[in-house]
């Protein structure tokens, strides 16, 4: 079994990068997309084998809801997670590690980790 791959779709590099680094330290493979077009490319290319997409619902690049619906329609094995605010997105990443690395800032990634684990546990297939 391969390490799960998480696609983070977030326009704000100050949110995306620390979250990606945290998840990498937890053993996940992480692909970063600054906008929806990049997310489409990551999925359509097929080289990343995405398991979970963590998507900001707002931002300047379009609706996270629309991207999530597109992913569910075109890539039904990819689980999606939506985050509403910086705090909420960071909170969703919280429990990806049993004993996660210490963040430089006081951020709670545990809920995100828990949710990714739940999504991966319900995934069908290899």
pLDDT at 29: 95
Angle, helices 36-45 vs 64-74, to 10°: value is: 10
pTM of the model: 0.69
9, β-bridge pairs: 33, 55
Does pLDDT of 112 surpass 60? Answer: yes
Residue range 38-66: mean pLDDT, rounded? 84
Residue range 113-122: mean pLDDT, rounded? 79
Does pLDDT of 6 surpass 90? Answer: yes
Dihedral, CA of residue 39, residue 40, residue 43 and residue 48, to nearest 10: -40
Length of the chain: 126
* Domain containing residue 108: 5-122
81, β-bridge pairs: 54
User: Residue 90: which CATH number?
Assistant: 3.40.50.2300
Highest mean pLDDT among 76-85, 88-97, 101-110 belongs to 76-85
Counting the structural domains of the chain, the total is: 1
pLDDT at 82: 83
Does pLDDT of 1 surpass 60? Answer: no
Angle at 43 between CA 50 and CA 16, to 5 degrees: 70
pLDDT at 31: 96
DSSP characters for 58-104?
Answer: -STT--HHHHHHHHHHH-TTSEEEEE-SHHHHHHHTTTSSTTPPPPS
What is the Cα–Cα distance from 27 to 38, expressed in whole angstroms?
Answer: 23
Provide the mean pLDDT of the chain: 78
Q: Edge-to-edge, what's the strand order for the sheet holding 5-9? A: 29-33, 5-9, 52-56, 79-83
């Amino acid at each position: 079994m391969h390490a799960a791959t998480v696609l983070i779709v977030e326009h704000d590099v100050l949110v995306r990068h620390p979250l990606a680094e945290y998840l990498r330290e937890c053993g996940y493979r992480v692909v970063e997309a600054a906008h929806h077009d990049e997310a489409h490319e990551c999925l359509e290319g097929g080289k990343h084998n995405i398991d979970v997409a963590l998507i900001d619902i707002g931002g300047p690049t379009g609706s996270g809801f629309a991207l999530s619906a597109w992913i569910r329609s075109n890539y039904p094995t990819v689980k999606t997670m939506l985050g509403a605010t910086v705090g909420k997105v960071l909170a969703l990443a919280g429990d990806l590690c049993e004993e996660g690395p210490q963040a430089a800032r006081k951020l709670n990634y545990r809920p995100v980790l828990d949710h990714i684990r739940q999504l991966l546990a319900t995934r069908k297939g290899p």
